[in-house]
Protein backbone atom coordinates (compact mmCIF):
# COMPACT_ATOMS: atom_id res chain seq x y z
CA UNK A 1 0.00 0.00 0.00
CA UNK A 2 1.50 3.30 -1.11
CA UNK A 3 0.36 6.40 0.83
CA UNK A 4 -1.15 9.14 -1.32
CA UNK A 5 -2.57 6.83 -3.97
CA UNK A 6 -6.26 6.29 -4.57
CA UNK A 7 -7.58 3.54 -2.29
CA UNK A 8 -8.91 0.41 -3.97
CA UNK A 9 -12.60 0.25 -4.81
CA UNK A 10 -13.06 -2.59 -2.31
CA UNK A 11 -11.45 -0.61 0.50
CA UNK A 12 -13.65 2.42 -0.25
CA UNK A 13 -16.85 0.36 -0.41
CA UNK A 14 -16.10 -1.52 2.83
CA UNK A 15 -15.41 1.84 4.47
CA UNK A 16 -18.74 3.14 3.13
CA UNK A 17 -20.59 0.15 4.60
CA UNK A 18 -18.88 0.72 7.96
CA UNK A 19 -19.79 4.43 7.80
CA UNK A 20 -23.35 3.38 7.00
CA UNK A 21 -23.51 1.32 10.18
CA UNK A 22 -22.09 4.16 12.28
CA UNK A 23 -24.40 6.81 10.86
CA UNK A 24 -27.38 4.46 11.29
CA UNK A 25 -26.69 4.34 15.03
CA UNK A 26 -26.42 8.13 15.15
CA UNK A 27 -29.67 8.52 13.20
CA UNK A 28 -31.49 6.10 15.46
CA UNK A 29 -30.45 8.03 18.55
CA UNK A 30 -31.19 11.40 16.97
CA UNK A 31 -34.65 10.32 15.72
CA UNK A 32 -36.11 10.06 19.22
CA UNK A 33 -36.32 13.82 19.95
CA UNK A 34 -37.85 14.54 16.55
CA UNK A 35 -40.43 11.78 16.88
CA UNK A 36 -41.37 13.13 20.31
CA UNK A 37 -41.77 16.67 18.98
CA UNK A 38 -43.92 15.61 16.04
CA UNK A 39 -46.42 13.60 18.10
CA UNK A 40 -49.95 14.73 17.33
CA UNK A 41 -49.05 16.11 13.92
CA UNK A 42 -50.50 14.91 10.66
CA UNK A 43 -48.59 11.64 9.93
CA UNK A 44 -47.55 12.73 6.44
CA UNK A 45 -46.13 16.01 7.77
CA UNK A 46 -44.40 14.28 10.69
CA UNK A 47 -42.81 11.79 8.29
CA UNK A 48 -41.53 14.56 6.01
CA UNK A 49 -40.13 16.53 8.95
CA UNK A 50 -38.38 13.40 10.28
CA UNK A 51 -36.88 12.60 6.87
CA UNK A 52 -35.53 16.13 6.35
CA UNK A 53 -34.23 16.23 9.93
CA UNK A 54 -32.39 12.90 9.55
CA UNK A 55 -30.95 13.98 6.19
CA UNK A 56 -29.55 17.09 7.92
CA UNK A 57 -28.22 15.05 10.86
CA UNK A 58 -26.44 12.68 8.47
CA UNK A 59 -25.11 15.69 6.57
CA UNK A 60 -23.73 17.20 9.77
CA UNK A 61 -22.14 13.87 10.72
CA UNK A 62 -20.35 13.42 7.41
CA UNK A 63 -19.38 17.03 6.72
CA UNK A 64 -17.99 17.50 10.23
CA UNK A 65 -15.71 14.49 9.86
CA UNK A 66 -14.83 15.18 6.20
CA UNK A 67 -13.86 18.75 7.12
CA UNK A 68 -11.42 17.19 9.59
CA UNK A 69 -10.19 14.73 6.93
CA UNK A 70 -11.62 11.37 8.02
CA UNK A 71 -14.65 9.62 9.43
CA UNK A 72 -14.08 6.83 11.94
CA UNK A 73 -14.54 4.25 9.17
CA UNK A 74 -12.10 6.09 6.90
CA UNK A 75 -9.55 6.16 9.73
CA UNK A 76 -10.00 2.43 10.28
CA UNK A 77 -9.53 1.64 6.59
CA UNK A 78 -6.70 4.20 6.20
CA UNK A 79 -8.50 6.50 3.81
CA UNK A 80 -8.34 10.28 3.94
CA UNK A 81 -10.35 12.90 2.10
CA UNK A 82 -8.64 16.03 0.91
CA UNK A 83 -9.23 18.95 -1.38
CA UNK A 84 -7.68 18.61 -4.82
CA UNK A 85 -5.54 21.61 -3.81
CA UNK A 86 -4.31 19.71 -0.74
CA UNK A 87 -5.41 19.94 2.86
CA UNK A 88 -8.79 19.17 4.33
CA UNK A 89 -11.91 20.02 2.33
CA UNK A 90 -13.57 23.38 2.91
CA UNK A 91 -17.06 23.29 4.44
CA UNK A 92 -18.58 24.11 1.05
CA UNK A 93 -16.77 21.17 -0.56
CA UNK A 94 -17.85 18.82 2.24
CA UNK A 95 -21.53 19.81 1.93
CA UNK A 96 -21.41 19.66 -1.87
CA UNK A 97 -19.84 16.19 -1.67
CA UNK A 98 -22.57 15.09 0.76
CA UNK A 99 -25.40 16.34 -1.45
CA UNK A 100 -23.84 14.77 -4.54
CA UNK A 101 -23.28 11.48 -2.67
CA UNK A 102 -26.99 11.49 -1.72
CA UNK A 103 -27.85 12.04 -5.36
CA UNK A 104 -25.47 9.19 -6.21
CA UNK A 105 -27.45 6.87 -3.92
CA UNK A 106 -30.72 7.99 -5.48
CA UNK A 107 -29.27 7.17 -8.91
CA UNK A 108 -28.30 3.63 -7.80
CA UNK A 109 -24.60 4.33 -7.41
CA UNK A 110 -23.96 5.99 -10.77
CA UNK A 111 -21.16 8.05 -9.22
CA UNK A 112 -19.48 4.92 -7.88
CA UNK A 113 -19.64 3.16 -11.23
CA UNK A 114 -18.14 6.20 -12.93
CA UNK A 115 -14.91 5.69 -10.92
CA UNK A 116 -14.01 2.83 -13.25
CA UNK A 117 -13.80 5.31 -16.15
CA UNK A 118 -11.76 8.11 -14.54
CA UNK A 119 -7.96 7.74 -14.84
CA UNK A 120 -7.52 8.58 -11.12
CA UNK A 121 -10.37 6.18 -10.13
CA UNK A 122 -12.10 8.83 -8.00
CA UNK A 123 -15.87 8.92 -7.58
CA UNK A 124 -17.94 11.36 -9.64
CA UNK A 125 -19.07 13.26 -6.52
CA UNK A 126 -15.41 13.77 -5.57
CA UNK A 127 -14.60 15.19 -9.01
CA UNK A 128 -17.57 17.56 -8.86
CA UNK A 129 -16.88 18.65 -5.27
CA UNK A 130 -13.15 19.18 -5.84
CA UNK A 131 -12.12 16.46 -3.38
CA UNK A 132 -10.30 13.14 -3.59
CA UNK A 133 -9.77 10.08 -1.47
CA UNK A 134 -6.23 8.96 -0.74
CA UNK A 135 -4.59 6.14 1.20
CA UNK A 136 -2.78 7.04 4.41
Render pLDDT for 48-78 as a digit per residue (tens, 0 to 9).
999 999 999 999 999 999 999 999 999 999 9
Average pLDDT over residues 8-32: 97
CA atoms within 13 A on the CB side of 53: 19
Residue 112 has pLDDT above 80, yes or no: yes
pLDDT for 2:
72
Cα 128 from Cα 118, distance rounded (Å): 12
Rounded Cα–Cα distance for residues 128 and 29 (Å):
32
Its sign, for the CA torsion 85, 71, 56, 132, is positive
pTM: 0.92
Q: Would you list the domain boundaries of the chain?
A: 9-135
| 22 in Cβ contact with 14 (< 8 Å) | no
pLDDT, position 1: 56
C-beta separation of 61 from 23 below 8 A: yes
Amino acid sequence: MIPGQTPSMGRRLVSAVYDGLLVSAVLLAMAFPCVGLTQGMEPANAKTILQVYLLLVAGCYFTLFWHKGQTLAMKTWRIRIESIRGGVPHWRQAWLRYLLACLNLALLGLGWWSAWFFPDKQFLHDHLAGTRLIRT
